[in-house]
Structure 1
Amino acid sequence: MSYEYSKLKGRIVEKCGNQQNFAKLMGLSERTVSLKLNNERKFTQPDIDKALTILEIPIEEIKDYFFTPKVQN
């Protein structure tokens, strides 16, 4: 299953400026973050926990950022 990460990408820009800065804060390579945001690798639970803190996402909104199914055209 693929997930829609457009809201997450917007939050990354809002809070970190760009994916490169977000990747550094996450302790991941830019490539790894890109793969995750493009559904080529999965976000792990530790990834999600760290992203919630970095991006100041309330726990009640996890679904909106990480678990919205991508609608196929």
Structure 2
Amino acid sequence: MYRPFKKLRLRMVELDYNQKDLARAAGIVPSTFSLRIRGKQPFNSAQIAAIARVLNIPTSEIGAYFFEEPGRKMKVG
């Protein structure tokens, strides 16, 4: 089963954020965040920037967290 935003989810676990806490820290309504992380609606650029800031994701790595190709396996490590 494909789960969108796998790398983002792993980063959340690394930093001990659940969806609700990350949404609030990024200034996103939790229900909106839920729709987006499930792939039902796209994140907008402001949301991506806010999440990257909270999770300390470098600008150069944002693509790997938010623009993976569906069904494509990521290399870990």
Spell out structure 1 runs of 4+ moving beyond 6 A. Answer: none
Task: Give unmatched runs, 5+ long, in structure 2.
Answer: 73-77
1-structure distance, mates of 2:66, 2:21: 19
Q: Higher helix fraction: Structure 1 or Structure 2?
A: 1
CA RMSD of aligned residues (A): 1.8
Partner of 1:4: 4
2-structure distance, mates of 1:28, 1:4: 18
How many residues are matched? 70
Moved more, 59-68 or 27-36: 27-36
Alignment check: 8 A CA contact 2:36 2:43 kept: yes
TM-score (norm 1): 0.82
1:66 CA displacement: 0.4
1:13 CA displacement: 2.3
Task: Give unmatched runs, 5+ long, in structure 1.
Answer: none
Greater relative CO (CA pairs within 8 A, separation 6+): 1
Matches of residues 6-45 of structure 1 in structure 2 within 5 Å? 6-45=6-45
Q: Percent identity?
A: 31
TM-score (norm 2): 0.79
